Amino acid sequence: MVTQLDAIDRKILAELQADASQSLDEIAKKVGASKTPVWNRIRKLRDSGLIKSQTVILDPDKLGLEACFFVLVRTSEHEKDWQDRFLTALLEREEVLEAHRLAGDIDYILKVRVKNAKAYDDFYQALISEVKIFNMTALLSMEEIKSTLRLPV
C-alpha cells in the first residue's frame, strides 16, 4: 500500500472499475467533486501504480473460447532450472490466463481458456512434452458463476 486512500479516492476507483470509459465530468459528478481534483487524484493513482492499466473485457464464448479449465499441477522437480523452463512455458502460452505457485501439496494452479476439450488436450500434450510434470489434474468449468477483477476498495 503506497499511500493512504481517502473516501474520494475509493469512490473514484470504484467508478473506474465499474466503467473506465466514463468521462472525467461524469466521474467528478458521481464522486461529488469537480474535475481538477478528480483529475489530479487519478493521475496520482496511475503514477503510484495502483491503477496498473486500462483494458477491455471480451466475451470468451463469442470468441469461440468455450472451455475453461483449472489445472492442478504437481511436480517432482524443484530445481531452479526446471522451474525456469516451466515458467517460461506458461508465460509463452496464451491459453494460460492465470498461473500461481502454491503453498502445500499442489505446486501450481493454472487457469486455461481454450476452444474445446481437444484444444485442451493439445495444450496438455505440448506442455508435458516441454517440461516433466509429475501429476496434472484438470477441473472443467461447467458454468462461470462469477468473474470479476473488481477489487473491494
Partner DNA sequence: ACTGAAAGATCGCGCTT
Partner DNA sequence: AAGCGCGATCTTTCAGT
Which positions touch a copy of itself (CB under 8 A)?
A: 1-2, 13, 16-21, 48-65, 68, 70, 87, 90-91, 94-104, 106, 108-109, 113, 139-153
Residue 128 interacting with DNA (CB under 7 A): no
DSSP state at residue 61: G
Q: Which does 34 bind (CB under 5 to 8 A by kind): a copy of itself, DNA, none?
A: DNA
Rounded CA gap, 51 and 17, in Å? 10
Binding to DNA by CB under 7 A, coded x per residue (else -) over 42-81, reads -x--------------------------------------
CB 87 within 8 Å of CB 127: no
Q: Which does 49 bind (CB under 5 to 8 A by kind): a copy of itself, DNA, none?
A: a copy of itself
> Which of 5, 8, 90, 119 is close enough to bind DNA by CB under 7 A?
8
- Pairing type for strands 67-74 and 108-114 reads antiparallel
CB 89 within 8 Å of CB 131: yes
Comparison of 1 and 142: residue with beta carbon closer to DNA = 1
The region of 36-44, 102-110, 124-132, 136-144 touching DNA under the rule CB under 7 A is: 36-44
Cell numbers 461524469: residue: 26
Grid cell, residue 20, equals: 473506465
> Which of 3, 40, 125, 135 is close enough to bind DNA by CB under 7 A?
40
**Residue-wise over 39-50: b if at least 16 C-beta within 10 A, else e?**
eebbeebeeeee
The values of phi and psi at residue 121, to 5°, are -65, -40
Q: Which residues bind DNA (CB under 7 A)?
A: 8, 23-25, 33-37, 39-40, 43
